[in-house]
Amino acid sequence: MFTGIVAEQGTVLGIDRDGDASATLRLKAPTSTEGLALGGSIAVNGVCLTATRIDGQDFSVDVMGETLVRTTIGELAAGDTVNLERCVPAGGRLDGHVVQGHVDGVGELLEREPLGNWDRLRFGVPGPLARYIAEKGSIAVDGVSLTVTAVSAATEASPWFEVGLIPTTLEETGLGAKPVGARVNLEVDVLAKYTERLLSFAPQGSPAHRASVETANVEAACAETSGNQEAAR
């Protein structure tokens, strides 16, 4: 488990790919390799990976096809910087929020606005994930724990959310240099996903079941609207 508090920006030394089936990612991380053992967990841009080789300040991780398809890891190249976080020790401080390192989808940076010493960022989000993102809730963007400051309406065809980045986050994570159009890994609040799953098993006719059905109807309506708009383009 992680907390979304980035400890270091590592550097990609290389990525060896076997098509879409798998890859080996090699990184340099002077701080994160201290005490890192083979088999240890480390989050790379929010993706929980396992250290398979350690050589001084360098380490390697193996990436399976599922991860390459559902995250931005496969888009990395030598020289890129990545956000790194070691797993939180038992009894450690939970400074951010509960982050599993299980990326739910990929978003896109739509807007970036400097506002004094902080920036407002708006991200486009895949439709199926929008329902899990709430104003003042938590979200992990490239492994960075952030507070959602604004969200799109439930009926909006192209959902989005906004966050504010303080100077420390701008300086110490890769989000400070992300250009508009950049793709990012997103992990929504795991509690929201479990709540929805539990509601789906509620007895038919119960208030929880009705709420689940209403949610599904809204999702279907939004998907139909989005599909009609795509067809009209």
Instruction: Enter the pTM of the model.
Output: 0.85
Report residues of the chain scoring pLDDT below 70.
207-233
Read off φ and ψ for residue 131, nearest 5 degrees.
Answer: -70, -15
String of b and e for 103-140 (b: at least 16 CB within 10 Å)?
bbbbbebbeeeeeeeebebbbbbebebbbbbeeebbbb
Degrees to nearest 5, angle at CA 101 with 66 and 149: 115
* Beta strand extents in 19-80 (DSSP E only): 22-28, 41-44, 47-55, 58-64
CA distance to 116, 127, 142, 144, 196, per residue, from 186 (Å): 26, 13, 6, 9, 18
Q: Looking at residue 32, what is its pLDDT?
A: 95
Q: Looking at residue 91, what is its pLDDT?
A: 79
Q: Looking at residue 208, what is its pLDDT?
A: 60
Q: Looking at residue 19, what is its pLDDT?
A: 87
3-state helix, strand, coil in the chain (%, to 5): 25, 35, 35
Burial class (CB in 10 A: 0-12, 13-18, 19+), 90: exposed
Q: Looking at residue 195, what is its pLDDT?
A: 87
